[in-house]
Amino acid sequence: MIKVPIFNTSQSWTRPALLIFAGILFGLFQVQVVAAQSQQSGGEQTTQLEQNPPYQQYEVKAGETLYSISKSLDVEIEELREWNELSDNALSLGQLLRYIPREWSTLTRETQSEAMETGASIIRSTDVETTEFYIVKSGDNLIRIAGAHDMSVVDLKALNELESDFIRVGQRLTVKKVVDSVAPVAVNFEQGSAPQGAFLIYTVPPKLPLDSLLRTFQMSRKELAYLNPDVNIDRLDPGQKITILAPPSRKYANPYTKSASIIDVGQVAISVYKESDKANTTTTGELYNPEELTAAHASIRLGQVVYVENPVNGRGIYVRINDRTTENVLQVSKQAYELLGYNEPVLSSSIDGIAPPKTARIFTLEEI
């Protein structure tokens, strides 16, 4: 009888299986320990960042308040008071305030880590809005003061922590300092002190009538309104800033004077184009327009501008020669004829009652 050996399979396979299972558990335990250490390290770094925020300093300038500083730094007033242990809103000139940039608290941990690793700045530049003080005068109200300083009434009340619309004469209010445009400021304007043709920013003084302002700058109402489309020029408030055009500081002599070597061509007969000549072609190729100041002559150079004067009434105008005539006569357009007054009735000075022929005197700056 052959005996077959019997193996205890449970004993032969149990020990290796236990060893393999134990190795797997040990490996998982090591991974968890590493992860826990990494998380703890990251937590410590985050806690360290939160416990040691990057405080920066800000120096208080003239006219600034906690409200204006909080706006320029993009932080809350309560945060400024907490960071600097302030019991009220009083500030002194040159006082150093510490603050935490808004970007530090809003950036994610990944962005902070990346910024620290690359050395990139995480602070964005902000436009600082400056302020100034305004003393309340008789007749002032919040609407007028806010409008003169480019603010809303809500902003003005918030800036000064006003709970009502009541203000008193002599009260000092913090207002937005109006930033002028690229135009220079007209300060203590004097005749001839400003460059002519320059646009200036002008601060309206108290009790200045509009007519006086227009005379000072030699402007019309229409011109002032065009330069200030958003301003009611009929109601200018003291302290309001408007744009004006500097008047001419120099006067230039008229070149068409005796000192300009004007040549008196002499006196010639004058006539006017007929109505049927309208739109006919002139010598220069233009079409005759009765509304333009043009004329025709037998010998004066085409294109030349001459001064024509009516010797009876002394009226004179400039006309441009653009056509030719076959006779020694100056033929002018209907508009020129009427401006010179030749269409008006003239009292006859002759004995027989016949009106003398109409003549005109011609002047030019160059030889014909």
CATH label of the domain that carries residue 162: 3.10.350.10
- Is it the case that residue 180 has pLDDT exceeding 50? no
Task: Check pLDDT > 70 for residue 19.
Answer: no
Q: Residue 88 — left, alpha, or beta (φ > 0 → left; ψ -120 to 50 → alpha)? A: beta
- Looking at the structure of the chain, the number of domains it has is 4
Average pLDDT of the residues of the chain: 75
Last-in-domain residue among 252, 277, 301: 252
pTM, two decimals, is 0.33
Cα-based angle 145, 149, 150 (whole degrees, multiple of 5): 115
Task: Please determine, for residue 355, whether its predicted confidence score (pLDDT) is greater than 80.
Answer: no
Q: What pLDDT, on the 0 to 100 scale, is given for residue 75? A: 82
Flag whether pLDDT at 109 surpasses 50.
no
The runs of H, that is alpha helices, within the chain are 9-51, 66-73, 77-83, 102-106, 109-118, 142-148, 153-159, 210-217, 221-227, 334-339
For residue 343, the enclosing domain spans: 258-364
**pLDDT tier for residue 74 given thresholds of 50, 70 and 90:** confident
pLDDT digits (tens, 9 = 90+) for 244-289: 887 766 666 665 555 556 788 889 999 999 999 998 889 988 899 9
Residue carrying the six token digits 């002499």: 266
Token reading at 244 = 């004006």
DSSP state letter for 215: H
Q: Which residue has the higher pLDDT, 85 or 289?
A: 289
The pLDDT, as a whole number, for residue 318 is: 93
pLDDT for res 293: 95
Per-residue pLDDT at 122 exceeds 50: no
Q: Are residues 236 and 185 in the same domain?
A: yes
* Residue range 307-320, pLDDT digits in tens: 999 999 999 999 99
For residue 305, the cross-strand partners are 320
| Dihedral angle sign, alpha carbons of residues 114, 119, 123, 127 | negative
Is 167 found in the same domain as 79? no
The pLDDT, as a whole number, for residue 112 is: 46
Of 33 and 93, more confident? 93
Domain co-membership, 236 together with 281:
no
Phi, psi dihedrals of residue 308, rounded to the nearest 5°: -110, 130
